[in-house]
A and B are shown apart, each in its own frame.
Chain A
Amino acid sequence: MTARTRSFNEVLLSVENISLSFGGVKALSDISFDIAKGEIRAIIGPNGAGKSSMLNCINGFYHPQEGAITYKGVRRSQMRPHEAAEQGIARTFQNIALFRGMSTLDNIMTGRNLRMKTGLFWQALHVGPAAREEIEHRQAVEKIIDFLEIQHIRKVPVGQLPYGLQKRVELGRALAAQPELLLLDEPMAGMNIEEKQDMCRFVLDVNDEFGTTICLIEHDMGVVMDISDRVVVLDYGKKIGDGVPDEIKNNQAVIDAYLGVSH
């Protein structure tokens, strides 16, 4: 597969001059880039470059000291993580963050919690609206389970699953929210070739079938160059490159960062 060349015009999210520091440590300084609606956008960079911090800013877990984020035309400087979720931003984590005591099915059902509205009273009776709602969402979740090919582990507590499947369940949980913007933090880390191929297929299918915009962090350059539309490169909390995969491959600053030219 070669790099895809698609064009996008509508900007879904743009990051303007974001700076974030912890005490004296600067994690991000003056970062700006945008994510177009419908594209697959990759963030790459050496370890400690600030990639995860960037995602954490986008979904409201960290609050940058400077700069603003414009999402769907609304400019904001701060929001709570669950507000981000309500506005259609879902994500997965570098170190899997599943609910270990719950089954695969329950984990993915939790992804739909924002769409489930019945209150305590109906829940306690479990008839009428509560029961109907439960079945409705179960159907939606079963579609995701089929899509990710994890029918056989539906009722298994996720703590007992192997790593690769846990990653898949986590993707399922994020998809269950039917997000507009999906943030994937190293979705293929620690996987073998076969698992990586599966995961790439899922990411591309999500993008194609549901039209979900995807922003992902990944270390495997082969994968990044193959599946992403545009790439942004961070190093030591600064942006050193931004463009389509071919440009990035030939960008001297990026090559230096990866090969380790002394600063």
Chain B
Amino acid sequence: MFYREAGQFKVSYAADQAVFPIAQDRIAMLALLLIAFLVVPFVASEYVYRAVLIPVVILSLAAIGLNVLMGYCGQVSLGSGAFMAVGAYAAYNFAIRLPFLNPFVCILLGGFVAAGVGIAFGVPSLRIKGFYLACATLAAQFFADWAFLRIKWFTNYTPSGSINAPPLEILGVDLSSPTANYIVCLVFTVVLAIATKNIVRGHIGRQWMAIRDMDIAAEIIGVQPMYAKLTAFAVSSFLIGVAGGLWAFVYLGSWEPAAFSIDRSFQLMFMIIIGGLGSILGSVLGAAFIVLLPIFLNQALPPFGALFGWRISTATVSHFEAMIFGALIIFFLIVEPHGLARLWSVAKEKLRLWPFPH
């Protein structure tokens, strides 16, 4: 009814190339952002912040990063947990070795270090493809797990291997409340998401997609595989590294290497498969879905089991969770490889024509 684009004429290429060419989409997006920044802080409880909002916001950023590499450039990575870890530990080391730096500056610097490490582990992608590359990124994962556990310099020789983030503040303003945590993460994610969207719709993004769709043809029309792949690795690792820094500094506060294990890599991969490969919006939807589902199951399964006289333990719930994730992955790969994002655009398409079927 109200979702109509009739009467909106594009008179310039700039208007035609806008991220949201349809006015209603622009308004909806703006409204969503306003709600996220101005309304949520007044209604969310501490539990909602810690359990839902902050994880979703940070993991969205990491998922966007992985999507750059896997969804846009077609390079499979099972090592995103490692790049989060690099971001987190690099940020930590900047913070303790250069104490005059603001913690958020450290997080950004950590992102750049992650980008460098990403480029190093991306070099094999110039020679190998597909699951060979997946194995190579797995090497990054295991190497990072080991390095942050065993090389004591990274953890500043703390005896337990567990480390604490510096206090969060900007210009003397304390940012340790959940609301402030949330807003800070949201700013990072929104700004970087917009920047990423700009890159993927420009010529670098097109090079990535060309490599993804047909690398040989891309090279023959003049795309340099090395430049395209390594920029994808760099941008992806930067985003994931910043997400890792936020996860460690803002969400966890103190952490151990296990916080960035291979499980995290799989979790991120599930987010973008379910959310939609090659979609920024999909990354966010996928992150929200994957964070919310276990919470839902933990709430819903035990009472449900009680109806039939079963006692469902938390271990069983986690097994159910694994089964449901597994089944969903297969379902989405078979039915809708472009994930929730595609379902959303199909719904919009229907809405445009409603109440007519065609």
Interface residues of A (CB under 8 A from B): 59, 61, 80-82, 84-86, 90-91, 93, 97-102, 106, 109-114, 116, 118, 120, 123-126, 130-131, 133-135, 137-139, 142, 173-174, 177
Contact = CB atoms under 8 A, between A and B. Distances in A.
B334 interface: no
Given A61-B220, A82-B222, A116-B203, A102 B210 contact: yes
Interface string B195-226: 11011011111110110111011111111110
Contacts of A134: 17, 202-203
B278 interface: yes
Given A130-B202, A135-B14, A138-B17, A114 B222 contact: yes
B213 A90 contact: no
Interface in B4-56: 12-14, 17
B97 to A, nearest CB: 27
A85 B207 contact: no
Contacts of A106: 206, 209
Contact of A126 (B198, B209, B213, B220): B198
B214 A99 contact: yes
A82 B228 CA distance: 12
A99 B210 contact: yes
Contact of B198 (A110, A112, A125): A125
Contacts of A138: 13, 17
Interface of B: 12-14, 17, 195-196, 198-199, 201-207, 209-210, 212-214, 216-225, 231, 235, 278
Given A85-B220, A97-B220, 17 more contacts: A61-B220, A82-B220, A90-B221, A97-B214, A97-B217, A99-B213, A99-B214, A99-B218, A101-B209, A101-B278, A124-B196, A124-B198, A126-B198, A135-B14, A137-B203, A138-B13, A142-B13
Contact of A59 (B195, B198, B220): B220
B223 A82 contact: yes
Contact of A120 (B213, B224, B231): B231
A137 B214 CA distance: 22
Nearest to A91: B220
Give the most central of A91, A113, A118: most B CB within 10 Å.
A113
A85 B202 contact: no
Contacts of B235: 120
B13 A135 contact: yes
Contacts of B224: 82
A139 to B, nearest CB: 7
Contacts of B17: 134-135, 138
B198 A123 contact: yes
A103 to B, nearest CB: 10
B222 A177 contact: yes
Contact of B203 (A91, A123, A177): A123
A124 B199 contact: yes
B207 A110 contact: yes
Given A120-B199, A123-B198, A135-B14, A111 B213 contact: no
A61 B209 contact: no
A88 B1 CA distance: 51
Contacts of B12: 135
Nearest to B197: A126
Contacts of B218: 99, 110
A113 B207 contact: yes
A85 B222 contact: yes
